[in-house]
Amino acid sequence: MPAGFTVLKFRRIQVLVLALATSPLASAQEPWPISRRGELGVRYWLSTGETKISHNAQGVDPTLGNPTSVLVYGNLDAHVLELFGRQNFRNNLFLKAAAGVGGINRGYFDDEDYRAGQVKFSDTTSSMRDGRIGYGMIDVGHQWVLREGAISLGVFGGFSQWNEEYHAYGAEDHLGFIGGDIDNSINVISNKVRWRALRVGFSGQFVFGRARLGVDVAAVPYAKFYNEDSHHLRAQPVGSSPFALGPVPNIIDEGEGFGVQSDLELRYEIARRTELGVGLRYWYLKAREGTTDFTNFANGETPIVEFYTVRTGVTVSLRRTW
């Protein structure tokens, strides 16, 4: 075989190998990318929560206890669908945001009242349904990218709003104070709580091959809460009966507080630039100070003893990165 033909054939093989090496098929064999410029995704949050409110009315009536009334909205199971996103910028700044809405499908409401010496004179329990939850948050931060993107650590500050709404039906009268049980078809209590909070926190991401561990912990140094409590069966004009509270909402709670909002999530890259994640979430906001105002009474303002909202549960997310 002529030597020139052999050389020509060898060169053609070289060209073919080079073409294959630069083809889309070869590109698909490249290492999975570590760094991310941004992400957009959807998250499902299965959670349970509780809101507790108590106040001291001894300043209005010394024969009452401290706390005078303790209201607990508990075992508030909720399903939430959330949209979230993050954008990283060249100067190591980042912007992230999330918004979620959902329903609270069950729970209970317990209402206890005390005389001086903490002698309980009223205790009722109602069932919860038809509740709602909604929230949103936005943060701006700075990150440090280490080990070629395998580790990123950041700090951020931002704002969040968290709303929950509850409706209690019927009542089981444990002490006979209200004159017997109330049928579960009757809406006896509705409650709307809103927290607006400043967030300061830490975020981190740790890459292990195609797996990623994300951590997001925000301290809430300052929050304001506003709570509307509507006792529907006591909405008669003040003075018409010993139990009348006037038009709803007939009790307003307001004040300032603090707390924490944290997320831990393990993600796996199931396809190029597509990640499936599972995680844990814990939110807790608590009053530092506040007042309970019986809105239809001239001297109806009393100090809050305790007020908090807590929600915790598991999350499942699907995101697309770029």
Q: Which pLDDT tens digit goes with each residue over 29-54?
A: 344 455 578 999 999 999 999 999 99
85 shares a domain with 1: no
| Whether 155 and 21 share a structural domain | no
Both structure tokens of 47: 């959670």
pLDDT of residue 248: 96
Pair 19, 91 in one domain = no
Print the domain residue range for 3: 1-30
pLDDT at 237 over 70: yes
Residues 16 and 111 in one domain: no
pLDDT at 16 over 80: no
Q: What is the CATH number of the domain that holds 146?
A: 2.40.128.90
Assess whether 116 and 49 both reside in one domain. Answer: yes
Domain identity same for 129 and 10:
no
Confidence of residue 299 (pLDDT cuts 50, 70, 90): confident
Structural domains counted in the chain: 2
Indicate if the pLDDT at residue 24 is higher than 70.
no
Residue 35 located in a structural domain: no
Q: Are residues 178 and 98 in the same domain?
A: yes
Q: Is the separation of the CB atoms in 125 and 112 below 8 Å?
A: no
Question: How many CB atoms neighbour CB 75 within 10 A?
Answer: 12
For 123-144, how does the pLDDT look when each residue is reduced to its tens digit (9 = 90+)?
999 999 999 999 999 999 999 9
Predicted pLDDT of residue 147: 86
**Which residue has better confidence, 31 or 252?**
252
Question: In terms of domains, do 81 and 10 share one?
Answer: no
- Higher-confidence residue: 45 or 25? 45
- CA-CA distances (angstroms) from residue 283 to 12, 51, 255? 64, 12, 18
Establish if 167 belongs to a structural domain: yes
Check whether residue 13 and residue 65 sit in a common domain.
Answer: no
Task: Kindly report the average pLDDT of the chain as a whole number.
Answer: 91
- Tell me: do 169 and 256 sit in the same domain: yes
| pLDDT higher than 90, residue 17 | no
Are 1 and 62 found together in one domain? no
Q: CA-to-CA distance for 304 and 233, rounded, in angstroms?
A: 23
What pLDDT does residue 90 have? 86
Rounded percentage of the chain residues whose pLDDT exceeds 90: 84
Is 150 within the bounds of a domain? Answer: yes
Interval 261-285: pLDDT, tens:
999 999 999 999 999 999 999 999 9
Whether residue 85 contacts residue 40, with contact meaning beta carbons closer than 8 Å, is answered with yes
- The whole-number pLDDT of residue 242 equals 85
Using the structure block, give the residue that is written with the tokens 């209200």. 178
168 occurs within a structural domain = yes
Half-sphere exposure of 62 (CA within 13 A, CB side): 0
Whether the per-residue pLDDT at 96 is higher than 70: the answer is yes
Does one domain contain both 204 and 293? yes
> What's the pLDDT tens digit per position in 181-223?
999 999 999 999 999 999 999 999 999 999 999 999 999 999 9
Distance CA 84, CA 76 (A): 24
